[in-house]
Structure 1
Amino acid sequence: MAGPSITLQQLSYFLSAVEHGSLSAAAEANFIAQPSLSEQIRRLERALGVSLFTRTNRKLILTEAARILVPYAERTLAAAQEAAAAVDPVRNLTGGSVSFGTFSSSHDLINVDLITEFRALYPGVSLRIEELNSVQVAEAVRSGDLEAGVVALPVDDRGLQVSPVVWRSEARYYTAASDRAAGPIGIGAIADACLILPEARWGDMDPTRLQLNARAQAAGHTIRPAIEVESYAVALELARRGVGDTIASPPVVETLGFTHGLHGASLDPPLIEQYGFVWRRNAVLSPAATAVVNLARALLSAIPGPAPTV
């Protein structure tokens, strides 16, 4: 059976009435109208099932129940104040912690700057960044292991809130052979190529591969990579050595230092990768998570996106 519904405000008004000896004086001290304060005390009495005051023309007289209640009300309000003070560091970003997930290639794009800027702004907050495939980020956020994350879209959004797209990047075809990058690459040529693809662990669940496979299927082709590796750096180095060709976004290629020795070409039609933030549906992000999201959004926005198609 549920207990009485008692609010901190009711206890506060009760103690104020005890301290000031009258409802009018208590109302004045709390900057509210007396009828409002009186109604809250009546609700407290109804919840407890007892009378707390004997009202006279001159002052309030405490009942036995009121005398018993006073120390409990004082301890309850003190505990509430301690609880509020305990989370002050989290609210004010002077303490606490935050966990955030980023798509796998983000460590080459934004993570160092993200951590550096966050630490400079909020040195008292512990920060955990997990660099994962977007599929993993979504699952970790869904399970509660991470508070939020930035992912390549699409992802399985069950139980998740997905923000609008915050950054776009064009996936391009990279090869050591200049003749193979002379013009846009169609899906048939990609299906026939000796293809090196990163994200080996997640394979066809990777968002970029999802787009490639959907495009291939619609055209009656099948994408079967000759080589699968985990990192973009390894895939690009193998492509530069002529082992095969790969697909990556220009910002990653530039950040990793593979602008020499590789030739890039757009896909036909262009394949645009889209990125957004995810957090648990109906959840309110903590101040620290909100700060990380805002910093990540600013850093991603500063990376050049694909040129608009005409």
Structure 2
Amino acid sequence: MTISQLRAFVYSVDGGSFTAAAEALGVSQPTISALIRKLEEHHRLPLFIRAGRRLSLTSAGQELLGWARQIVESSVRADEALIELRGLQRGSISLGVLRNANFYFLSEAVEQFQRARPQVQLRLFGQNSFEVVEGVRSGRLEAGVVVLPVPDDELEVFPLIRDEVLWASIHPERVAAPVSIQQIVEHPVVLYDASYSWNDPTRRQLSERAQEHGLRLEPQVEVEYLEAALDLVARGVGDTMVSRAVTQGESFPESIHVAPFDEPMYDTIAFIRRRNSVLSPAIIELIDLISALLRKRAPEDAQL
């Protein structure tokens, strides 16, 4: 098999048709069809179910996809690395970021990176660390910055800093002292990241803490975004969890009070990549920049 055949295969899967793959690669549709046919003939296995308007993978195609994507992306990274060595700063990089990235590094990192590499297209994805992990594992993202814990099979994990998780309420008496999980379940709770629910790393920590005390934490309201949860807390609907970095942002409502947990809880922020993957020089530079910003803003006892 050849890189051209694997590239045609991957782009056909991502685009849903040979026509979409041809458009993405700048070749004719018959060229894509011929490359796929040769790949199938070489292995004597069909890779696609050719029924309907959108391609579907056979079991052989599903088995090949992960390997093919890794080979194709490695070839792209190799090309970009050689381009970088020639001093041509162009191409694109895809990085997954944690939910509250803007409170930690996002705007400043993008600004500094774009000043240094104005010809590099920067693509940042992710609403939740769980989503970022799936993107890195599947190869859609080159690397990611996440909150731990995350499933780490097929991944390399490099912890950077930790940030304390606090409990937030509009009622000052509820957060006048460090808060226990027993106190939390006594009042209505508002939680964000509804789509990911207890797959969210911070929510999972909270749930496990409740289970350790024989309690069950049931949110009164679940919403998608942190900003919506804070607005509901400010309206007295319920209490929520929030990282210390968020409380230090200018947009954090003045009417909301916070307190630590009686057993301190932390979000550990880490860099992840696929095991044994080769990163492009540009994304290594971006990761180094993000790591420096995180460590600059974190207290010494929060650095790992």
Provide the TM-score with structure 2 as the length reference.
0.70
Q: How has the CA–CA distance of structure 1 residues 263 and 187 changed in structure 2, closer, same or farther, with 3 Å as cutoff?
A: same
- What's the counterpart of residue 72 of structure 1? none
Shift of 1:230: 1.3
Contact in 2 for aligned 1:93/1:287 (Cα 8 Å): no
**Number of paired residues?**
225
Q: 1:210 aligns with which of 199, 204, 209?
A: 204
Equivalence map 1:124-273=2 (5 Å): 124-163=119-158, 165-273=159-267
- What's the counterpart of residue 282 of structure 1? 276
Shift of 1:107: 2.7
- What's the counterpart of residue 66 of structure 1? none
Shift of 1:213: 1.1
Contact in 2 for aligned 1:91/1:287 (Cα 8 Å): no
Contact in 1 for aligned 2:84/2:281 (Cα 8 Å): no
Secondary structure of 1:142's counterpart equals helix
Secondary structure of 1:298's counterpart equals helix
Contact in 1 for aligned 2:92/2:120 (Cα 8 Å): yes
Q: Distance in 2 between matches of 1:206 and 1:102?
A: 14
Secondary structure of 1:135's counterpart equals helix
Shift of 1:92: 4.0
* Mean Cα deviation higher: 279-288 or 85-94: 85-94
Q: How has the CA–CA distance of structure 1 residues 197 and 265 changed in structure 2, closer, same or farther, with 3 Å as cutoff?
A: same
Report the residue type matching 2:238 in the other structure: G
Shift of 1:93: 6.0
Q: 2:118 aligns with which of 104, 116, 123?
A: 123
* Mean Cα deviation higher: 100-109 or 151-160: 100-109
Shift of 1:209: 1.1
Q: Distance in 1 between matches of 2:198 and 2:269?
A: 18
Q: Distance in 1 between matches of 2:127 and 2:85?
A: 26
Contact in 2 for aligned 1:106/1:131 (Cα 8 Å): no
Report the residue type matching 2:141 in the other structure: L
Q: Distance in 1 between matches of 2:102 and 2:209?
A: 28
Structure 2, gaps ≥5 residues long: 1-77
Residues 215-245 of structure 1: per-residue CA shift (max 9 Å, x gap)? 1111101111111111111111111121111
Q: Distance in 1 between matches of 2:100 and 2:249?
A: 10
Q: Distance in 2 between matches of 1:244 and 1:252?
A: 18
Q: Distance in 1 between matches of 2:176 and 2:81?
A: 63
Shift of 1:270: 0.9
Q: Distance in 1 between matches of 2:284 and 2:81?
A: 20
Report the residue type matching 2:157 in the other structure: V
Q: How has the CA–CA distance of structure 1 residues 91 and 197 changed in structure 2, closer, same or farther, with 3 Å as cutoff?
A: farther
Q: Distance in 2 between matches of 1:158 and 1:91?
A: 36
Cα RMSD for the two superposed structures: 2.1
Contact in 2 for aligned 1:195/1:245 (Cα 8 Å): yes
Q: Distance in 1 between matches of 2:145 and 2:217?
A: 27
Secondary structure of 1:302's counterpart equals helix
Contact in 2 for aligned 1:93/1:122 (Cα 8 Å): no
Q: Distance in 2 between matches of 1:195 and 1:306?
A: 32
Secondary structure of 2:185's counterpart equals helix
Q: Distance in 1 between matches of 2:119 and 2:215?
A: 53
Shift of 1:131: 2.9
Shift of 1:283: 0.9
Q: Distance in 2 between matches of 1:93 and 1:271?
A: 45
Whether 2:109 is the aligned partner of 1:111: answer no
Contact in 1 for aligned 2:81/2:280 (Cα 8 Å): no
Whether 2:91 is the aligned partner of 1:99: answer no
Report the residue type matching 1:230 in the other structure: E
Provide the TM-score with structure 1 as the length reference.
0.68
